[in-house]
Structure 1
Amino acid sequence: MKDLRLIFRYSKPYLRDLIIAVGLLIIECAFEMIIPVLMSTLIDEGVPAHDMPVILRQGGLMVVCAVLALVTGLLYARFAARYANGFAAELRLAEYAAVQKFDFANLDHFSTASLVTRMTTDATVLLNAVNTGLRPLVRSPVMLFMGLGMAFILSPRLTIIFLVATPILAAMLAWIVSKVAPLYGRQQSAVDHLNSRIQEGLTAIRVIKAFVRGDWENQQFDEVNTELSDASTETFRFAVLNMPSFQTVMYTCIVCIMWFGGNFILTGNMSVGQLTAFLSYVLQVLNSVMMFSGVFLQMTRSLASARRIREVLTEQPDLANADQPVTEIENGAIDFENVSFKYNAGAEKNALSDITLHIPAGATVGIIGGTGSAKTTLVQLIPRLYDATAGTVRVGGRDVRDYDLAALRDAVGIVLQKNLLFSGTIRDNLKWGSPDATDDQIWAACRAARADEFLDRMPDGLDTDLGQGGVNVSGGQKQRLCIARTLLKHPKVLIFDDSTSAVDTATESGIRHALAQLTDVTKLIIAQRISSVQSADLIVILDDGRLHAVGTHAELLAHDTIYQEIYQSQKKGGDPQ
């Protein structure tokens, strides 16, 4: 229940609507409770005596009660819908905000598909539970106590049938819930797997078509689709027992009441009107209890969804600001002192081991190494996308953990290996670097990134729509736009993670020339091509997460075997000049 308590905190802005909805529902129940009493008088007094005034009076009062019950029911629906949909909206917003605070390490705990499911399907499960469950959840106990009270007044002896049926109903419901509860978690996990396959298939659709693997993908999708189908079938195989079980008990109660009530009428202990009213209360109470059993099953599923949502909301970011964080970064000097790092505390091997490196402010540093040598991992420690497991990383002479996270990341511009653009115009994407940038500043950044060469040919220039994920531009154009976006930040440290791999050598040379003009910015360039880093002030070679060598192009070419091997292999391929 603590999961539900945490989740329903987000419904507080709509608490007034909930209170009004519950009040209206209680009033509706009261009107419905009056109708059988009025009907009893009509049958016992008006019909036998053919007393039209009594019939019209009681019938009119019944119509008035029915209309008032209808009006309060409609008003209830309005306020309940506002509460339910407002709650779901707040919950989705809270989940999304929580994900925005996650660090890279937190994101490693959840798959993208699982987060999507938790923000959509699981939130919708809770929305439906509130939307369809609030009415029977409130109405059932109200109708139960009111109905039992009125039934007891009419016939205490017949009411005993209720008292016998209640534990039977409770036992049935408990058995069904015990079977269904574990299956709902399995069902939601199957939804995760389905969404993951859909996301991967749509993201890689061009690769699938290029390799003509559509049939294989269909087979993979069929497996996760069957998994969800089987999980749902297994779940509802037990859940479906709810209705026939309760109907069996309900009809058994009615038969017993008719049998004993008929005998009471024959012996003069009960009138026909009283038995009719009693049966009305029985049907109202049993229908309410049957609806409540359905809600109880829905709540069981909601608990599984609530648990999954709570995991997102309570996930604590691994990185936090210091008690009194520093907001000013003096310069772009970078120091690694005996730095080691592993992605998982339980990992046997470090991704980085004992890195000690000094990079002066304003220097240009190239970082090269084989695949898996932890080049990207090294630079991710600078803006605290991860924290070093051991040792210290300093920027501007201070430990990066002393800085305010937002201030540090504003001072470090990073062009990631995977170039990401968002839906919207080119201007919208570039303004991620500086929301207040003028057109002149945007064009200056685009010229430095050599993006102006193709922007001039775009139909609407900066206002050209990029489409979802930047599908309307090529890979090289994406890279140049991402570089321009980062340059607009005017950072003290600029990191390029293999960010010019998709552009030709002439364009790359122009970008390097533009970057050379930024004398007050420390530039770190991860590259596969020596030609991309040979003019750097320092070149760092990483090998299996360790610092292998540091020096200029000439020094390394003269003394380092790994650098010589890379250089010669690329020279044969015609890459370095």
Structure 2
Amino acid sequence: MRIYGKYFNKYKVLFLSGVLFVLLEALCDLMQPTIMSRIIDDGIKSGQMSVILHYGLTMLAVTAAGACFAALRNILASRVSQNFGADLREDVFKKIIVFSESSADKIDSGSLITRMTNDTNQITQFINGMMRIFVKAPVTCVGSIILAVLLSVRLSLVLLAAVAVVTVLIVISMRLSYKRFAKVQYAIDKVNAVVQEYLLGVRLVKAFGRYGDEEEKFGAANESLASKSIASQLVIAWFSPLMSLTINIGIVLILFFGSVLFAGGGIEVGRVSAFLTYMTQILASLIMITAVFNMFVRTKASTERIAEVLNSEEDFPGGGSGAITGPAALEFKSVTFAYPAGSGLPAIRDLSFEIGAGKTLAVIGPTGSGKSTLAWLCLHFYDLNSGAIYLNGADIKNMDTGTLRESVALAPQKSMLFSGTVRDNIAWGKPGATKEEIIEAAAAAQADSFISRMPEGYESFLGQAGVNLSGGQKQRVSIARALVRKAPVLILDDCTSALDAVTEVKVRRGIARLNAGTVVIITQRITTAMNADMILVLDNGRRVGFGSHRELLASCRIYKEIFDSQIGEEFMR
């Protein structure tokens, strides 16, 4: 619970005020049975109407005061808990934004959504309940026990025995509940992950007609959630009746021994009535306390999941190097890297190369050779296992992360667009870009032609992930977004795979015309690579070739195999 310290400090005054009103409300409730015993023993028994009116009016005043205190604590509880929840969600989201790639790899997106919604809502409810009934229940319980003992020491022995049994039941219930409620939260994660995965791949599911498999997958996750929820609720289902039974047996025993004491003149009827009322209050309080502990167990599980997010590793802060202007030289020096959450095998092995400022480097190699990994490392998404990457002679590890990523524009392998207009998506690469800059970048990426034909042109709205565009259109918008930045280094990570050969050539020419920086083209196409100034050939993360097209044809077996498989010897004739 330490992670919530700053939120309690922020709302400390309102929280303590709410707790004060709860205590005053509980005090009003505790006074009523004693006042009632006075009405019975001092007023009704002796037939004194003035005593009845006096204590009756006092009881009404106490009840009215209790109602006012209850209304005030409800208002404060709602304000504090909802503001607390809003602050917590905001902090969790801010943390997710600055997640390192390692943190993002550890917690999947479905689980993050559950933690942002279900877990924070669980904590919000707990704060609300703590200010309403969670404080009142133990105060009322302890107060009722003390006042009951003052009324009759002998009858209180039965009461204390019942409370002791119920306390043991609560402790056992807590021990059994915690692990079960934690499993429920992870089962919710799984349901969310299955739904999210289906929504992301809905077209593929339709194309292959795999509805049955998706239904089966969801059914298994849903059944798992249901069974774990039932297992957690069974604890409550067993222990709540046992606690009620214990308290009700106590009430029966108090009625029996109270009647015996009354018959012998050892206690007055008003005191027995008050004692029974306190016993009822204790019953209600213990049921509330059980609910409190069950809620606490669930909140503890949610708190640990929220803490895992808030304590996750953040993105690299860097050292605050100055901004880069103009084309930048890029150098890898003995770089070795393995994904932290991967197989442990290096994706890049002892890689060294250098490309001069303003030059074009093509990176080619078999699938899984580490080409895309090279792009992520240039942006310092991960720390290297060994070696260093230099941009204009500066180690990127010592650069300010914001400055580095402003200096490197990326068109990723998988085009990711956002809900909003076409203009918004292109300007996303350069906030504040003018209309002319946006159109210029779109024209270079061969996107202006189809954007201009859209009903609203650049103001046309794109659905989530650009769902209303084709694959090739999304890639061209993604390239325009990278080009509009005019960064010192431009990385194109196989971002023209959905384009035909003619359009790709036009895009390459547009990039060469508009972009004056250093270009890194990651590709599977030999025709794209062969026109670069230098070509890097990777295989299993290692450099197996580095040079011009003709040099590699003569010296690199893998490059020649790729060339022959895509073009063949006819090209050389």
In the superposition, the TM-score normalised over structure 2's length comes to 0.95
Native 8 Å contact 1:11 1:86 kept in 2: no
Any unmatched runs of 5+ in structure 2? none
Structure 2 counterpart SS, 1:501:
coil
2:477 maps to amino acid? L
Give the structure 1 partner of residue 265 of structure 2: 268
Structure 1 residue runs of 5 or longer lacking an equivalent are none
1:218 aligns with 2:226: no
Residue number in structure 2 paired with 1:202:
199
Is residue 327 from structure 1 mapped to residue 322 from structure 2 by the alignment?
A: yes
The CA deviation at 1:114 is 1.5
Shift of 1:430: 2.1
5 Å-filtered alignment, 1:244-263, equals 244-263=241-260
| 1:465 matches 2:472 | no
- Aligned mate of 1:295, from 289, 292, 296: 292
What's the counterpart of residue 510 of structure 2?
A: 514
* Counterpart residue identity of residue 155, structure 2: L
How far the C-alpha of 1:65 sits from its partner, in A, is 1.9
Distance in 1 (CA, whole Å) between partners of 2:90 and 2:570 is 53
- 1:175 alignment counterpart: 172
The Cα shift of 1:396 comes to 0.9
8 Å CA contact retained: 1:495, 1:525: yes
CA distance in structure 2 between the aligned counterparts of 1:232 and 1:220, rounded to whole angstroms: 18
SS of the aligned residue for 2:428 comes to: coil
For the pair 1:37 / 2:34, whether they are aligned, the reply is yes
Structure 2 matches for 1:106-121, cutoff 5 A?
Answer: 106-121=103-118
State the shift of 1:539 in Å: 1.3
2:540 corresponding residue in structure 1: 544
SS at structure 1 position matched to 2:323: coil
Q: Counterpart of 1:341?
A: 337
- Which of 367, 378, 381 aligns to 1:382? It is 378
Offset of 1:479 from its aligned partner? 1.0
1:102 is aligned to 2:99: yes
| Deviation for aligned residue 1:309 | 1.1
Q: Deviations over 1:264-284 (max 9, x none)?
A: 222222211121122212211
Whole-Å separation in 1 of the counterparts to 2:424 and 2:300: 40
Closer, same or farther in 2 for the Cα pair 1:342/1:28, shift >3 Å? same
Matched with 2:137 is 140
1:497 maps to which residue? Answer: 493
Q: Partners in 1 of 2:397 and 2:15 — Cα distance?
A: 45
What amino acid maps onto 1:294 in structure 2?
A: A
Please give the per-residue CA displacement for 1:302-355, whole angstroms capped at 9, x wherever unaligned.
Answer: 111111111111112363423xx3132355100111111111389553211111
The 3 A distance-change label for structure 1 pair 207 and 576 is farther
Asked if the contact 2:315/2:381 (under 8 Å) is kept, the reply is no
1:366 aligns with 2:362: yes
Separation in 2 of the partners of 1:383 and 1:573?
38
Name the SS for the 1:381 alignment partner: helix
Sequence identity of aligned pairs in percent?
Answer: 36
- Say yes or no: does 1:317 pair with 2:314: yes
Query: Residues 319 and 51 (structure 1 numbering): CA distance in 2 closer, same or farther, change over 3 Å?
Result: same
Aligned to 1:192: 189
Cα distance between partner residues in 1 of 2:283 and 2:189? 38
From 234, 237, 242, give the equivalent of 2:234: 237
Tell me how far apart the structure 1 counterparts of residues 361 and 456 of structure 2 sit (CA, whole Å): 37
Deviation at 1:518, TM superposition (A): 4.5
Compared with structure 1, are the counterparts of its residues 96 and 349 closer, same or farther at alpha carbon in structure 2 (3 Å cutoff)?
same
Task: Give a deviation string over 1:493-517, Cα, whole Å, max 9, x none.
Answer: 0000001111222222222112212
Of 194-203 and 46-55, the range deviating more from structure 2: 46-55
Displacement of 1:519 in angstroms is: 6.0
Matched, 1:160 2:157: yes
Q: 2:44 aligns with which of 43, 47, 67?
A: 47
Q: Where does structure 1 differ by over 4 angstroms across 4 or more consecutive aligned residues?
A: 345-348, 572-577
TM-score, structure 1 length as denominator?
Answer: 0.94
Distance 1:522 1:374, change over 3 A: same
SS in 2 for 1:340: strand
Residue equivalent to 1:452 = 448
Cα deviations by residue, 1:5-63 (Å, 9 ceiling, x for unpaired): 22354343222221121111111112112222221222123323443333333223222
Q: Is 1:7–1:306's contact at 8 Å kept on the other side of the alignment?
A: no
Give distance in 2, aligned partners of 1:54 and 1:340. Answer: 90
Q: In the aligned structure 2, how far is the partner of 1:333 from the partner of 1:88?
A: 47
| Equivalent residue number for residue 11 of structure 2 | 14
In the alignment, the residues of structure 1 paired with residue 346 and residue 36 of structure 2 have an alpha-carbon distance, to the nearest angstrom, of 81
Superposition CA RMSD, Å: 2.1
Deviation, 1:560, is 3.1
* The one of 540, 562, 568 aligned to 1:566: 562
Q: Give the corresponding residue for 1:60.
A: 57
Contact 2:336 2:349 in 1 (8 A): yes
* C-alpha distance 16-374 of structure 1, shift in aligned 2 (>3 A): same
Aligned counterpart, 1:282: 279
C-alpha distance 125-519 of structure 1, shift in aligned 2 (>3 A): closer
After superposition, the C-alpha distances for 1:507-565 in whole angstroms (9 at most, x for unaligned) are: 22222112212564000011111222222111111111111111222332344332232
| Counterpart contact for 2:262–2:269, Cα < 8 Å | yes
Q: Is 1:326–1:403's contact at 8 Å kept on the other side of the alignment?
A: yes
Counterpart-to-counterpart distance in 2, 1:364 and 1:39: 92
**How many residues get paired?**
572
CA contact (8 A) 2:421 2:458 kept: yes
- Equivalent residue number for residue 81 of structure 1: 78
Contact residue 419 and residue 479 of structure 1 kept, 8 A: yes
Contact 2:486/2:515, CA 8 A, preserved across alignment: no
Q: Is the 8 A contact 2:364 2:524 kept in 1?
A: yes
* Greater Cα shift, 49-58 or 293-302: 49-58
Equivalent in the alignment of 2:420: 424
Q: Which amino acid aligns with 2:374?
A: L
Residue 572 of structure 1: how far off its partner (Å):
5.7
